[in-house]
Chain A
Amino acid sequence: MLFIRQNISKLITTILMGVLSIFFLIPFVWMISSAFKYEKDVMRFPIAWIPKSTNVVYNFKAVWMGKVPFLHVYFNSIKIAVIVTCITLVISTMAAYAFTKLRFRGRNLVFTALLSFMIIPDQATLIPRFMLIRWLGLYDTHVALIFMSMFSIYFTFLLRQFMVGISDEYLEAAKIDGAGQVRTFASIIIPLCQPVLATVAIIKFIWSWNDYQNPLIFLQSKALYTIPLGMTLFRDDYTTNDAIMMMASLSAIIPLLILFVTLQKQVISGIALGGVKG
């Protein structure tokens, strides 16, 4: 009896939560549905969730082959996200290795200092960063964006938490086999860290993809824009055409949705990792 009662109450909660979860899905469903509609039908009420007549080809062409160089913008985003992710992984993994498996004076002091830098908000240093980039002649280049996002104490911290758990026995064994520190790092630590590296890579990729502030400050040419900034071009060019806006939004989100739905376990556990240890 108790078991049945518990299950019934669980079922009721599930239904209530299911209703609530609709609020989180509806804007996306509306976005997808609108992306298929004629401009005049988007704001028609009551909402036709499945459009009676579709203008998807026109909307698609307007986004991908229209005034905004969206294909180019898309490629920029992919390029930058991939490069930033790779460089961050290398820098953060190396630092995490030094913090956990190499012993030398000053190590803990440096770690504490780096952690305390985390309270410096990016926005408080924007102006000197901007001057530095101009002085280096990197204004309006992708290198500026990469340079601004390739250092991450947060990821170093996550990787360090993981590496602490790697037994020193592996390293001792490598040492006996005559491997130096660099080889130990490359052939033992990196393979052992693969799961956490995958998680960090996905999260960094998503953050880089969604970065709006750095491109806004450090880019000027439309040809160099990344997707979030590209969205502003659509807003300016198609102020009233919500169907095209929704097609653009859908196009901007879709790679993230695919990435997230296929790798949800890694993404969620990666985010949770930061919270628990943070």
Chain B
Amino acid sequence: MESAKPTITPERLQMPSKFWTPKRKEALIGWLFLAPEIIGMLLLNVFALGFSLYLSFTSWDLLSGVSGIKFLGLDNFIHMFQDPTIMKALKNNLIYTVLTVPIPMAISLVLAVLIHNKVFWKDYFKVVFFIPYISSIIAIAAVWSALFHPSLGPINQFLMDLGISSPPKWLVDPKTSLLAIAIISSWAGLGYTIIIYLAGLTSISNELYEAAEIDGATSITKFFKITIPLLRSTTFFLFITMLIGSFKVFDIISYLTGGGPDNSSTVIVFRIYQEGFVNYNMGYASAISWLLFAIIAVITAITWKFRNEED
């Protein structure tokens, strides 16, 4: 077949084989295939991060054009650590992390173990717990905001039926707004954690459990001595993913409370949004962006260090 083709095709003419050796050609194609991804990532992540570092040392309101950029030095950062709203946001982020990482992880682990081999209709449970995760968080937030309605909502009506005369006002009370948001997003995210744990569980061989059973181990012992240790890398993955995710929370807060009432549910990303896109303090918003980046970089570094020490 090969010999039937004309020996000089336009393609061959363009490629004198001396320079375009197969190796070089492969490299060229390789770089071309990677080019869109590399350019996109450099532009939107690396270059953007660098530019926001530059902006964080300036004062700029966007509307005055590039010439309006004024160099401020460290002022934004000094201001940031004296800004009570930022401190409040940091504190809220920490509370939100405590509420949405360890507790849902523990619940999911137990549920995943039960779904894995202790129930009938496994698939039903997988689907039910996972539905909230694939649904639009904004639509879910709309549903929960009606459920959590302070006087008329079904949740509080139910609590009042149980005899609680003044149930919490949830989203509209500064004391409970963050808790209500944490409940909604934990509820919505639980399916993801369960699915990841289930994937981890399928990789544990049954023989280990059978051997333990011969030694007379109870379900509880098996859970603590076999399941938990062998799921360590899954737990590590989930922990770091969810920890970082909890510092990036924005959508649900922006939709439900707008950081309120009285900044009781404001978080770092919401501050970036508020300062940058509502108040047009681009310099200050960039400084907060770098605070967020620093937090995530430190979390990543610490967790990696712990993991490497363990291995």
On A, residues with C-beta under 8 Å from B are 9-11, 13-14, 17, 20-21, 23-25, 27-28, 30-31, 34, 42-43, 45, 47, 91-92, 94-95, 97-99, 102-105, 107, 110, 114, 117, 119-132, 148, 150-151, 153, 156, 178, 181-182, 185, 206, 209-210, 212-213, 216-217, 227-228, 231-232, 234-235, 242, 245-246, 248-250, 252-253, 256-257, 260-261, 264, 267-268, 271-273, 275-276, 278
Contact = CB atoms under 8 A, between A and B. Distances in A.
Contact of B276 (A23, A130, A210, A256): A130
B71 interface: no
B139 A17 contact: no
A264 B147 contact: no
A92 B138 contact: no
B211 interface: no
Given A43-B146, A248-B142, 11 more contacts: A13-B114, A24-B129, A45-B157, A104-B27, A120-B46, A121-B296, A130-B277, A153-B41, A181-B26, A252-B139, A272-B196
Contacts of B33: 94-95, 97-98, 102, 185
B297 A45 contact: no
- Interface size range of chain B in the complex: 35 or more
Nearest to B251: A212
B interface, by DSSP: helix, strand, loop or mixed?
A: helix
A71 B40 CA distance: 32
B134 interface: yes
Nearest to B297: A119
A43 B94 CA distance: 34
B230 to A, nearest CB: 13
Given A120-B45, A125-B48, A276-B200, A252 B138 contact: yes
Contacts of B45: 117, 120, 125
Interface stretch (B98-106, B167-175, B220-228, B282-290): B282-290
Contacts of A264: 123, 126-127, 130
